[in-house]
Amino acid sequence: MRRRIFSRTHLSLRMFVAMVMALVLIIQAPVQAQTTAVAATELKTMVTKLTKEVDERLAATDKALATIKQSSGASSSATEVIIKSLEANKKDLTELKSKLSRTTTLADAKLLAKQMDDQYDKYASANVSAVAIKDSSAQQQVQKQLKTVVSDAQSMIDTAGAADMNVRSLQENLKGVLQLIESIGAIIAAVIALIASLASGNFSETSTIFKAIAGQLSQNLVSIDSAQNSLGGIVDTINNMQINNEASER
């Protein structure tokens, strides 16, 4: 007896299964389309957010580069280290931006977001180093000007002394101011060396040190104010003195 490959029941069952599957596919299609649309929107939102962040970091890095290149006074080795860190970050950020523009999946975008979070530490360290070195350079410039005024005041005191005027008190005051200025200079030099060593580090590990540096630079400003006030008093005294020209023209 010839065996039937498909019995009627079997066939009916298969047809039922096929119909159910077709029904499932018909029902699922819009859901699938909706899921794809949501993913596309999510991808677009994420890429926009990441691109905005990269652009902000690039702008901040460019600003920091311009700042440090304008800074004068800090040692060239310190500024070179920071410039290298900033340029390396700029390169990384530019590559990230390029990758972002080519990203087609949410998974890739999320991976890039993770990379950006990991890159933040270096970005922040280099940028904070740049402003801190600008700050130190500005103080170094002030310290040099203080020394120039002290030198000029010393010259006037020498002239007054040569004219037999009593300058002992002035001389002692000026000596005190000079010591203060020298200590300010030593602190600034140490701060600059420290900043250079932190420029390529991780900000999460160095932020406390940077805060301490900012605190030290604040203290320096207090010392600078003090030196300025003392020097102002000395200059006022010199202004009220009458120093014989004969002594100066010898």
Partner 1 sequence: MHPTQSKTKQKVIVVSLISVAAVIILGGAAYAVMQFVSTKNKEQAAAQESTGHIKSDKGVTKQTLNQGMNDLADSIEESKAVHTETEAVIKDMSTQVKVSQ
Asked if 120 interacts with partner 1 (CB under 8 A), we say yes
CB of 242 to partner 1, least distance (A): 4
Radius of gyration of the chain (CA): 36
* By the rule CB under 8 A, 198 interacts with partner 1: no
Confirm if 239 and 158 have CB atoms less than 8 A apart: no
Taking a C-beta distance cutoff of 8 angstroms, is the pair 121, 202 a contact? yes
Alpha helices in 4-105 (DSSP H): 8-70, 76-102
The verdict on 131 binding partner 1 (CB under 8 A) reads: yes
Residue from 49, 69, 84, 175 touching partner 1 (CB under 8 A): that is 49
For partner 1 (CB under 8 A), the number of binding residues is 57
Question: CA 134 → CA 92, 131, 137, 173, 197, distances in Å?
Answer: 24, 5, 5, 31, 15
Q: What minimum distance in Å lies between the beta carbon of 132 and partner 1? A: 6
* 84 contacts 133 by C-beta, under 8 angstroms: no
Residue whose CB is less far from partner 1, 14 or 95: 95
Cβ 115 to partner 1 shortest distance, Å: 9
Residue with tokens 């499932």: 24
User: Looking at beta carbons only, is 7 or 154 nearer to partner 1?
Assistant: 154
Which residue from 55, 62, 117, 172 is in contact with partner 1, where contact means CB under 8 A?
Answer: 117
Nearer to partner 1, 88 or 217 (CB): 217
DSSP of 106-174: HHHHHHHHHHHHHHHHHHHHHHHHHHHHHHHHHHHHHHHHHHHHHHHHHHHHHHHHHTT---HHHHHHH
Chosen residue from 9, 70, 76, 242 binding partner 1 by CB under 8 A: 242
Residue 231 found at the interface with partner 1 (CB under 8 A): yes
CB of 247 to partner 1, least distance (A): 8
Q: Is 9 in the site for partner 1 (CB under 8 A)?
A: no
- In the three-class reduction of DSSP (H, G, I as helix; E, B as strand; rest coil), residue 187 is classed as helix
Task: Judge contact between 192 and 238, C-beta under 8 A.
Answer: no
Ramachandran assignment for 6, one of left (phi > 0), alpha (psi -120 to 50 degrees), beta (any other): beta
CB 170 → partner 1: shortest distance, Å? 13
Regarding 32 and contact with partner 1 (CB under 8 A), the answer is no
Q: What is the largest CA-CA distance in the chain?
A: 145
Q: Are 195 and 136 in contact (CB under 8 A)?
A: yes
Residues forming the site for partner 1 (CB under 8 A): 49-50, 53, 110, 113-114, 116-117, 120, 124, 127-128, 131-132, 134-135, 138-139, 141-142, 145-146, 148-149, 152-153, 155-156, 158-159, 162-163, 203, 207, 210-211, 214, 217-218, 221, 224-225, 228, 231-232, 235, 238-239, 241-246, 248-250
